[in-house]
């Protein structure tokens, strides 16, 4: 966990692998923070189900809306726009047709060439 200053606010970032099994951690954090009750913004990722979501509608803390993972990436890479995510695929796989911007087609070509194509849209709730 770490704290970052964002304007006149402090933001606590922490990662929890299985939040549904450790809800008491969030309760403990809230209890320690006391009043006034803080706003909580989350970026939830359940890789087994391919579910990615955030409750940060304004994109103030989690502006990224797309997650990409390719053969050149050591870890997930996040992008604000779909166009940025598509450009990353083209950087990773320069043999893709330059005008190709359909994620399903990109992943199909990658699969045919035994290349990894990880893509998730982060839903906003």
What does the pLDDT look like over 71-93, one tens digit per residue?
999 999 999 999 999 999 999 99
Secondary structure (DSSP) of 95-115: TS-TT---HHHHHHHHHHTT-
- Would you give the DSSP letter of residue 20? G
Could you say which residues of the chain have pLDDT below 50? none
Q: How many CB atoms lie within 10 A of CB 74?
A: 6
Query: Residue 108: what pLDDT?
Result: 96
Helix (H/G/I), strand (E/B), else coil: 98: coil
Task: Give pTM, 2 decimals.
Answer: 0.77
Query: Residue 17: what pLDDT?
Result: 60
Burial of 119 (0-12, 13-18, 19+ CB in 10 A): buried
Output the CA angle 91-95-98, nearest 5 degrees: 70
């Amino acid at each position: 966990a770490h704290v970052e200053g964002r304007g006149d606010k402090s933001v606590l970032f922490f990662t929890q692998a299985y939040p549904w099994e450790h809800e008491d951690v969030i309760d403990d954090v809230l209890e320690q923070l006391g009043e006034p009750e803080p706003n909580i913004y989350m970026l939830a990722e359940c890789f087994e189900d391919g579910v990615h979501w955030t409750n940060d509608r304004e994109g103030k803390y989690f502006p990224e809306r797309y997650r990409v993972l390719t053969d050149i990436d050591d870890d997930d890479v996040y992008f604000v726009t779909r166009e940025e995510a598509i450009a990353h695929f083209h950087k990773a796989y320069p043999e893709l047709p330059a005008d190709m911007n359909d994620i399903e087609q990109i992943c199909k070509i990658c699969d045919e060439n035994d290349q990894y194509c990880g893509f998730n849209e982060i839903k906003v709730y």
